[in-house]
Amino acid sequence: MKAAEDKSIAANLSCSATQGGSLPIKSRVLRATGFRQEPKAVGGGSLQMSVARDGQDAERSMPPLVVVSFYKFAVFADYKDMRMPLKDLCEKVRISGGIILAPEGINGSICGTQESVQKVLEFIQSDARLRGLKMVESPVTPEEEAIHHGHTSHSPLGAGDDAPFRWDHVRVKLKKEIVTFGDVSVLPTERVGKYVQPRDWNSLISDPNIVLIDVRNMYETRIGKFKGAVDPCTASFREFPSWVKEEFQVDGSRIQQVDTEDDRLGEPPKLPRVAMYCTGGIRCEKASSFLLSKGFEEVYHLEGGILKYLEDVPESESLWEGECFVFDKRVSVEHGLEQGSFKLCFGCKQPVSDADMESPEWEFGVCCPYCFSTKSEKEKERARARQKQSETWGVIGGPDKGRRNPHRSQLSYGKVEKPLPNSIHHPLL
């Protein structure tokens, strides 16, 4: 009985990693037991964790994790049929993350062991229309692995909101677009710009006749971009078409007639050669297709996006400045796809630096200098309440999050209540 109890407690391990030391246990229950956790790097990049009680250690080997971002534009009319089989598989093999299915294809970012991720990708590509996924693989730090492996589906206290990747929670959503542009007539399956490999990117954007455009949003460009890039200062990708029309004076599929020397000579104004980039390449596919439909003749985009560039191009040769925002709890990455320095404001989901967190407008879990003035006091009070729940129980909603309340069920007068989700997770997309 004692051994079974110890095994049960160990299964609900919760930890917050610190470099080179023990992992302090957050759960009140586990703190009382005297457990400690010590991650150890072992051969092949895997992780061992010692779980000790009363001086007795038991080591278990843990496989390394990977994060894979992927997408594919395709004519996918029956996209809804894939949702449940895909979600079931992800849960079965302990995959976390987010996946979007739409009539125009698939877009996702998932985390798990190499074997589990491979099973999911093979399942997706078993549909001939989705073969040839465009993918970028990123490493996961030993600290993140410790948190991931310490979480169990039986305990919402297991990892709390600190977990970058939680295998008990994956979102598979159905949407109109795999990346929201607001114009379903733009079809990357029909035409896109010219792909440029990361190794050839520096040469292209160093050409003075090239207009380099960052297709991402303000909160992304704020922490890093390519040298000399034009920032459209958009709050969302939906604003990009309007920015293009205003910036380059295009209307419909024809160029507006403007009073230029070329116009007075009877020639239409020339649109520039354009190079564009985004995080992983997906937004550029839509943006380049849109520009081509507006009369642009030469449109280039970085294949694999910033992530592939940071992976392939040595820092000593790089024209990238700053860090790259990513849509998961890593928040940002640097060259070599190493973990960046930025944290996330849970009030507005924007990246914040150490300097931002020194501001009087910063309040952990509530607001930051970028959203302080836009939030009402009621919104801030609600955020404080959520943060208190998270700090107390390790999960928003309290210790019974995701568990059916038997007393409440008896008062439901025969109504069947749906179980609450057993965890929360910052969306990766």
Catalytic residue list? 278
Contact yes or no for 305/281 (Cβ under 8 A): yes
3-state class percentages of the chain: helix first, strand second, coil last, to nearest 5: 35, 25, 45
User: Which tokens in the block code for residue 93?
Assistant: 């093999």
Picking from 381, 360, 222, 376, the residue whose alpha carbon sits closest to that of residue 368 is: 360
Q: What angle do CA 386, 368, 401 make, to 5 degrees?
A: 15
CA of 61: how far to CAs of 46, 50, 114, 149, in Å?
A: 7, 9, 15, 10
Q: Could you tell me where the DSSP H helices lie in 12-113?
A: 28-33, 83-92
Picking from 105, 110, 107, the residue whose alpha carbon sits closest to that of residue 129 is: 105
- Is the four-CA dihedral 234, 237, 242, 245 of positive or negative sign? positive
Picking from 116, 276, 130, 100, the residue whose alpha carbon sits closest to that of residue 205 is: 276
Picking from 74, 176, 177, the residue whose alpha carbon sits closest to that of residue 127 is: 74
Contact yes or no for 245/259 (Cβ under 8 A): no
Crossing angle between the packed helical segments 114-124 and 83-92, to the nearest 10 degrees:
170
Distance in angstroms (rounded) separating the CA atoms of residues 152 and 94 = 10
Crossing angle between the packed helical segments 240-248 and 282-293, to the nearest 10 degrees:
40
- Is the four-CA dihedral 126, 129, 132, 135 of positive or negative sign? negative
User: Which tokens in the block code for residue 180?
Assistant: 């929201």
